[in-house]
Amino acid sequence: MNTVRPFHLAIPVSNIETNRAFYRDVLGCKEGRSSDHWVDFNFFGHQLVIHLNEKAKINNDSNPVDGHNVPVPHFGVVLTIEDFKAFAERLKTLQINFIIAPYTRFEGLPGEQSTMFFKDPSGNALEFKAFKNLNQLFEK
């Protein structure tokens, strides 16, 4: 399988409307189908569904990576360097509270990448990244 297909991810949120506004207005995701209890989004070409779960617990677990505490679990997408920079500037303008502010990880090493982490209003951790050389996505 060499063709990358869109993934489907369903995540819990504690408030539909607050998270709908976050994914639509802050992250710029186009809204698709919805009901009172879930909303589909075009998450950078992938299908993300937020599902209402008022009992969802915020997870604050992390693992050390390159001198930072990376939240676990997390999800996100790999952007181009240009898109990453523009997206990071947009998020800074919107005063997003970064867990890990945009920076370059593994500088000068295989897999050098720009990365940033933040949470949605329900505490789901997101990572956006961009590789200096996309061919090193899985480089050891």
- Domains, the chain, in order of start with CATH, read 8-52 (3.30.720.120), 64-136 (3.10.180.10)
Give tens-digit pLDDT for 72-109. Answer: 999 999 999 999 999 999 999 999 999 999 999 999 98
* Per-residue pLDDT tens over the stretch 8-52: 999 999 999 999 999 999 999 999 999 999 999 999 999 999 999
pLDDT at 2: 66
Give dist(CA 27, CA 29) in Å, integer.
6
68 φ, ψ (degrees, to nearest 5): -125, 155
Q: Is 69 helix (H, G, I), strand (E, B) or coil?
A: strand
| The model's pTM | 0.92
